Amino acid sequence: MRKLGYIFLTMLATPLVGCLRQWEDPYFIVKPSGLNSVTIRQYDTSGRQPNVHLRIDGNGLVNVKDGTSALVGNPFANNTKNEHWGDIRESRFTLPEDDATMIFQSLVDSGIFVKRTKSLFSGDPATNETCFVFASAKIGTKSTDSPDPVTDPQLLDALKMTVKMFYHPRPAQKKPISTNSQSHSQSNERIP
């Protein structure tokens, strides 16, 4: 009889264990670990700015890719005939593990693990927004991935600030000065 009582209590408690995940606090103290990682993808739909892919690992390795190539956001892209295929740059940095943990903590404090039940992204072009940011993270036992662009203002600012820490856009190339001899000789003439 006692064994049946334990089985009955176990059966009653099992559904509650699954509900505990919903009650977990999205704000927590980040513990240093080489297994932690955050990936931020920033896409500019206007074509004026390159797309940026930033990954920070808990061991301090930072990888930044930028450009208009499909390889920036998708390492498995295979459209080699695309005119922007070769437009990709990659930079790597190494941070102290404490600095990586501090960045992770600021993103946790900004709400990267807050569960949002309904996406606020409507896809309406009338928003005049041309830069969309996506984030995924695995810190400790928690993980998240945003299939829709991040819309929470506090988290969005924190993600953009994190990208700015490591991504420094290259200056636009200026047009070469014309060496046309006719325009040069006309500028040297004196006006009477």
What pLDDT, on a 0 to 100 scale, did the predictor assign at position 183? 46
**CB-hemisphere CA count at 13 Å for 101?**
12
Please report the pLDDT score of residue 187 as a whole number.
47
Q: Provide the 3-class DSSP secondary structure of residue 77.
A: coil
Domain residue spans in the chain? Answer: 20-166
Profile the chain (192 residues) by mean pLDDT over runs of 10 residues: 66 56 78 96 86 96 92 86 88 95 96 74 55 94 90 94 90 58 48 50
Write down the pLDDT at residue 84: 84
**What is the per-residue pLDDT for 34?**
93
CATH fold, domain 20-166, is: Mago nashi protein (3.30.1560)
3-state SS assignment for residue 53: strand
pLDDT of residue 109: 96
- pLDDT of amino acid 77: 86
The sheet carrying 37-44 orders its strands as 88-94, 61-67, 51-57, 37-44, 131-139, 142-145
The H-assigned helical ranges of 37-147 are 97-109
pTM value?
0.72
CB neighbours of residue 60 within 10 Å: 17
Identity of residue 126: A
